[in-house]
Amino acid sequence: MSALVDLSKSKRIVIKIGSALLVDKANGHVRHQWLETLGADIAALRARGQEVIIVSSGAIAVGRRHLNLSSGKLRLEESQAAAATGMVRLAHAYQEVLVTHDLTLAQVLITLDDSENRRRYINARNTLQTLLSLGAVPLINENDTVATDEIRFGDNDRLAARVAAMVSADMLVVLSHMDGLYDRDPTGNDNAIHIPLVKGELTPEIEAMAGALKSADGTGGMVTKLAAAKIALGAGAGMVIANGTEEHPIQRIEAGSLCTWFVPTASPKSARKLWIAGSLKPNGSLIVDEGALGALQSGKSLLPAGITAIKGEFDRGDAITVCTASGAEIARGLVAYSAEDARKIIGKKTSEIESILGYRRRDEMVHRDDMVLS
Ligand code: GLU
């Protein structure tokens, strides 16, 4: 099997769980038995050394019962209140399941702004990277309680894809009650043809297939799933849409269940580097000495010690160019410190950063993952 349609080959996997899978519609309770099998599947991925991030819906579906809200459509403030009480229960349910496998859960609530505002994006990315490196399993949902209608994702399909892009995941697993993409609505239509594989990009024909298919319980449908696929492919991540209703939903995918796989043409790393090199306008420059030049050319990160001057004004997370003393551009990247702070620590040793700035952040001024050589 190609590594691109094989979960066991992915290093960093984002798993999106739809409300309809997690919450029993009849009584609004978490489907514990099902969740236990998902937990076992996640533990099996972790045991292989794969990193896992869960993006879960269901806060509103669980919370509304506890607040005795009606079964109809909720007003925005009601669903925000429902999310606040539901999220606690949701996190608790995941925690109980993962702890039996000695896994630590870490809750992260994200807003649209966190994925669009550069500084917040970098902050969220760093936190998630740190959690993964410490062996935790992040549990992410939209911060529904504070996100207003205009500034929310509203569906976790796209949120999960943004998270996958944010952490350079190589695979996004979207579990819902649909087993993938069909050329037309398969409900009551035996002639509908299942599409097992989409390569590279979404053609207008593929997008047309999504139609206006809506999920019965969650907010997403095939339309938001394809929007997620677009984001994932653009970030170099693969994606699979699978039916997660049955127990052991991840094992089932590995055993070859009916799914739609989306295969990217680029890797997460090259997609990210393309984005850094091509789409961002640099706000300033870092001038480096010969030693740093050599280090960068051999694939190392840029440390404050090798920088001789700072030009321009920029914030942490902004794009900058790296230049030689004669002004030749040698790289582009995202800088880890503001221009103001960077000026204070250039030429200094990494061990001195904390005493100069009064806080400790990254050792590198520009990390090699955030840099593209010209
Ligand atoms: N964030 C919402 C919740 O947890 C769900 C959004 C979705 O269904 O995609 O209830």
Task: Please state the pTM of the whole predicted model.
Answer: 0.85
Question: What is the Cα–Cα distance from 230 to 199, expressed in whole angstroms?
Answer: 11
- Burial state string for 66-102 with b = 16 or more CB within 10 A and e = fewer than 16: eeebeeeebeeebbbbbbbbbbebbbebbbebbeeee
For CATH 2.30.130.10, list the domain ranges present in the chain: 280-373
pLDDT of residue 213: 53
Q: What is the mean pLDDT of residues 69-77?
A: 86
Rg from Cα positions in the chain: 22
Greater model confidence, 28 or 47: 47
Least confident of 93-97, 340-344, 350-354, 359-363: 359-363
* CATH fold for the domain made of 280-373: 2.30.130
**Residues 131-158, mean pLDDT to the nearest whole number:** 87
Residue predicted with more confidence, 310 or 274: 310
Mean pLDDT score, 195-210: 87
d(CA 171, CA 189): 31
Confirm or reject: Cβ of 63 under 6 Å from ligand 1: no
Q: Supply the DSSP symbol for 366.
A: B
pLDDT digits (tens, 9 = 90+) for 204-248: 888 888 764 544 434 557 888 999 999 999 999 999 999 999 999
- Alpha carbon 203 to chain centroid distance? 24
CATH code for residues 7-266? 3.40.1160.10
Percent of the chain with pLDDT over 70: 95
**Average pLDDT for 9-29:** 93
Q: Of the residues 67, 80, 94, 142, which should be mutated to test ligand 1's pocket, given the most ligand atoms within 8 Å of the CB?
A: 142
* DSSP collapsed to 3 states, 81-110: HHHHHHHHHHHHHHHHHHHCCCCCEEEEEE
At residue 27, the 3 state secondary structure works out as coil
Nearest-5° Cα angle at 39, 34 to 45: 130
Phi, psi values for residue 142, rounded to 5°: -70, 145
321 lines ligand 1 (CB under 6 A): no
The enclosing H or E element of 340 equals helix 339-345
Nearest atom in ligand 1 to 224's CA? 9
Least confident piece of the model among 165-169, 275-279, 301-305: 275-279
3-class DSSP assignment, residue 156: helix
How confident is the model at residue 330, as a pLDDT?
A: 93
pLDDT at residue 2 in the model? 56
> Closest Cα to residue 52, out of 154, 148, 140?
140
Distance CA(248)–CA(36), nearest Å, equals: 9
Res 39 pLDDT > 80 = yes
Mean per-residue pLDDT, 347-367: 90
Q: Tell the residue nearest (CA) to atom 2 of ligand 1.
A: 57
Of all atoms in ligand 1, which is nearest to the CA of residue 220?
Answer: 9
> In this model, does residue 358 exceed pLDDT 60?
yes
* Ligand 1 pocket residue status of 37, Cβ below 6 Å: no
Q: How far is CA 333 from the centre of its chain?
A: 21
In this prediction, residue 220 carries a pLDDT of 55
Give the mean pLDDT of 338-350.
94
What are the start and end residues of each CATH 3.40.1160.10 domain in the chain? 7-266
C-alpha to C-alpha distance for 154 and 143, rounded to whole angstroms: 10
The answer, yes or no, to whether any atom of ligand 1 lies below 6 A from the CB of 19, is yes
Question: What is the arithmetic mean of pLDDT over 337-347?
Answer: 95
Say yes or no to pLDDT of 159 above 50: yes
Arithmetic mean of pLDDT over the chain: 90
The pLDDT value given to residue 112: 81
pLDDT, average across residues 336-351 = 93
- Cα–Cα distance for residue pair 161/296, rounded to 1 Å: 31
Low-confidence winner among 116-125, 334-343, 355-364 (lowest mean pLDDT): 116-125
| Identity of the residue numbered 104 | T
In terms of Cβ atoms closer than 10 Å to its own Cβ (0-12, 13-18, 19+), residue 236 is buried
Does the C-beta of 243 come closer than 6 Å to ligand 1?
no
Please give the pLDDT value at position 186.
81
201: left (phi over 0), alpha (psi -120 to 50) or beta: beta
Q: What pLDDT is recorded for position 314?
A: 93
User: Out of 11-15, 49-53, 318-322, which region has the weakest mean confidence (pLDDT)?
Assistant: 318-322
Find the 220 Cα to ligand 1 centroid distance in Å. 9
Give the CA distances from residue 81 to residues 6, 91, 107, 239, in Å, rounded to whole numbers and listed in that order: 40, 16, 18, 32
